[in-house]
Structure 1
Amino acid sequence: MPVFKVPFNGYSVKFSPFYESQLAVATAQNFGILGNGRLHVLQLSPSPANPGQPIIELSSFDTADGVYDCCWSESHDSLIVAAVADGSVKLYDLSLPPTANPIRSLQEHTREVHSVDYNVVRKDSFLSSSWDDTVKLWTVDRPSSVRTFKEHAYCVYSTAWNPRHADVFASASGDCTARIWDVREPASTMILPAHEFEILSCDWNKYDDCVIATASVDKSIKVWDVRSFRVPVAVLNGHGYAVRKVKFSPHRGSVIASCSYDMTVCLWDYMVEDALIGRYDHHTEFTVGVDMSVHVEGLLASTGWDELVYVWQHGMDPRAP
């Protein structure tokens, strides 16, 4: 299975929504504590020209601080948004030479930017969340944010747009809550006291716009129906340490991928009794980035502090040649 070595610690990996063979990887030097960052754009290469090199680097962009997350534009196949540790949100255009990048550096957050997410419905806006306890809404054509969402009492680690409603998103915070927002409303529309410890990630079900998953330092993933959120629909236990990222499958409504500080990637089906359907222990350090391809069912990618990016098919060994 394809593997790629990056010079810094991996933080996030995202498949392109346009090309099944492209993915972006966010990395940070010295475990993101101090030092530079780099955004990589990689290509899965089945071409005869590179038979011994299954992943090639198309381009990379250096930053003065670590890159904690990235997301692809849903409207321009060459545009990538990066969340940077200096509090900036940077936009890169792959169709332009490296010297012309970043095409924009948005400097409003006062602490590290931890996540970015592009609106999949309206396709013209994106969110950033930060350790300054806020979420900001941006559009590609504006040099300043459209709105700042201030309610969380601690770092906002993750935001996720609803896959069906253009104005609705969720946020996950170290204040142990997840919040549901509608950008047309003055305040959050729902507060989920989802865990008793910090919530590091959240994601919406791609087939049921009322179902959301949260992942926490408490080692669990919880699945919620926002129509009746007093008790979770499912609680997924199996990770040995904090769950860093959670991602719903774009192909199967009940399938979730997760990665953890226990160095594993897990696959779950929250609708069945034995929910854990796959565990991969190919990383040798904290596993902090995971994604599933929208183009190829069952194709997974992960990255971690071992400076490796893996791409593999569910059911296969990521380390297999």
Structure 2
Amino acid sequence: MPTFLTPGRHGYSVRFSRTRPDALAVATSQYYGLAGGGTLFFLELSPDGSTMVEMQKLEWTDGLFDVTWSGTADGVAACGAGDGAVIVWRGGCAAPLRVLRAHHSEVCSVDWPRAHLLSASWDTTVKLWDPESEVCLSTFAGHSQLVYTATFSPHSPATFASVSGDGHLKLWTCTEPSRPAAVVKAHEAEVLSCDWSRMETHALATAGSDGLIRGWDLRRLTSPMFTLKGCECAVRRVQFSPHAPSVIAAVSYDFTTRIWDLKRGCDPLETIRHHSEFTYGLDWNALRPHQLADCGWDSLVHVFTPRSLV
């Protein structure tokens, strides 16, 4: 299992490249994100997959809390920062390509699958950007507490979901920033993460500080399709596998990464304990079946294939 150490930096987000199966980006912060700067690492797996090497690291004056690769420009990534900025970098360049400023607090989520970019912030808003022109196109202000995650639907380019400390999942249409298309009280706790199924157009999942993961059917939002209880602490990220519609992975503040297969019940298929601090970042490799990456506050990045899926 290839492992990379980010000395003096605590991992918040890891993402595989959308176009290169061996390339990753990792967003990190000093002092657990409470003070100091942030570093974006561009990493690459060796040809035999046994090691990860640093290709470049880029410094920012505040903590970096999320990273996403551009879906339209190869080698370009955006980060959400503690000073409210969204920074766009290109691998191989030392200076940022763009710095997008409109948020008034930490940006903890970014998503950029197509031309427009989404950012979600502790200022309770989600913003839609045209990164090329550095223009904020719309502000979505329907949550009453900080927004932990906002992510576009892979099936409908004009639709996105957001989740918040107010316990709600909200569905939005990009052309209607004044009000959400649907609202669900998803958890009786903060909702920290959400993810769309890549294969089922009607399905998405939420994860909360209550340790629960819930699945939702967009055709009937009155009650969850499923509820998974396996994490002992808050679930920081949840993600459907892009290769198997019934497989879900999650990382938790209980230091674990867990795998579920809904076809095999609601108990975790596998619990992976290779971190010694909060596990924060998670991503499936869309270009390599069943390969995962995670990162945590112990400054470690791991790339692995869960044994249960081999």
- TM tier, shorter chain? over 0.9
Structure 2 CA distance, aligned partners of 1:114 and 1:294? Answer: 23
Give CA deviations for 1:126-158 in whole Å, capped at 9, x if unaligned. 100000000000122122211010010000000
Give CA deviations for 1:182-204 in whole Å, capped at 9, x if unaligned. 11224200001000000000000
Structure 1 CA distance, aligned partners of 2:225 and 2:199? Answer: 15
Aligned partners of 2:230 and 2:267 also within 8 Å: no
2:109 is the alignment partner of 1:115? yes
Aligned partners of 1:71 and 1:118 also within 8 Å: yes
Structure 2 CA distance, aligned partners of 1:211 and 1:275? Answer: 20
Structure 2 CA distance, aligned partners of 1:68 and 1:192? Answer: 26
Match of 1:92? 89
2:266 is the alignment partner of 1:264? no
Aligned partners of 2:127 and 2:137 also within 8 Å: yes
Structure 2 CA distance, aligned partners of 1:102 and 1:148? Answer: 24
Indicate the SS of the match to 1:75: coil
Which of residues 283, 293, 304 is equivalent to 2:285? 293
Question: Once the 2 structures are TM-superposed, how far is the Cα of residue 271 of structure 1 from its aligned partner?
Answer: 3.6
Structure 2: 5+ residue stretches without partners? none
Greater CA deviation, 137-146 or 67-76? 137-146
Which of residues 71, 77, 81 is equivalent to 1:80? 77
Q: TM-score, normalised by structure 2?
A: 0.96
Structure 2 CA distance, aligned partners of 1:279 and 1:118? Answer: 30
Give CA deviations for 1:241-290 in whole Å, capped at 9, x if unaligned. 00000111111111111000000001112343244111101000000111
Residue pairs, 1:264-283, within 5 angstroms: 264-283=256-275
Indicate the SS of the match to 1:31: helix
Match of 2:139? 148
Amino acid corresponding to residue 13 of structure 2 in structure 1: S
Give CA deviations for 1:143-188 in whole Å, capped at 9, x if unaligned. 2211010010000000111011010000010000010001122420
Give CA deviations for 1:225-245 in whole Å, capped at 9, x if unaligned. 011111110000010000000
Structure 2 CA distance, aligned partners of 1:306 and 1:275? Answer: 27
Aligned partners of 1:236 and 1:270 also within 8 Å: no
Give the superposed CA RMSD: 1.4
Q: TM-score, normalised by structure 1?
A: 0.93
Structure 1 CA distance, aligned partners of 2:106 and 2:195? Answer: 21
Amino acid corresponding to residue 273 of structure 1 in structure 2: G
Match of 1:199? 191
Aligned partners of 2:100 and 2:131 also within 8 Å: no
Match of 1:124? 115
2:201 is the alignment partner of 1:209? yes
Aligned partners of 1:12 and 1:26 also within 8 Å: yes
Count of equivalent residues: 307
Residue pairs, 1:1-321, within 5 angstroms: 1-7=1-7, 8-46=9-47, 54-95=51-92, 97-98=93-94, 101-119=95-113, 123-185=114-176, 186-315=178-307
Indicate the SS of the match to 1:145: strand
Amino acid corresponding to residue 46 of structure 1 in structure 2: P
Amino acid corresponding to residue 3 of structure 1 in structure 2: T
Structure 2 CA distance, aligned partners of 1:296 and 1:78? Answer: 18
Structure 1: 5+ residue stretches without partners? 317-321
Amino acid corresponding to residue 197 of structure 2 in structure 1: N
Amino acid corresponding to residue 207 of structure 1 in structure 2: M
Structure 1 CA distance, aligned partners of 2:302 and 2:159? Answer: 32
Indicate the SS of the match to 2:269: strand
Indicate the SS of the match to 2:192: strand
Structure 1 CA distance, aligned partners of 2:134 and 2:251? Answer: 34
Structure 2 CA distance, aligned partners of 1:223 and 1:287? Answer: 21
Structure 2 CA distance, aligned partners of 1:156 and 1:271? Answer: 31
Amino acid corresponding to residue 195 of structure 1 in structure 2: H
Identity of aligned residues (%): 39
Give CA deviations for 1:79-118 in whole Å, capped at 9, x if unaligned. 10000011000000114x31xx211111110000000011
Structure 2 CA distance, aligned partners of 1:223 and 1:5? Answer: 34
Structure 1 CA distance, aligned partners of 2:201 and 2:166? Answer: 24
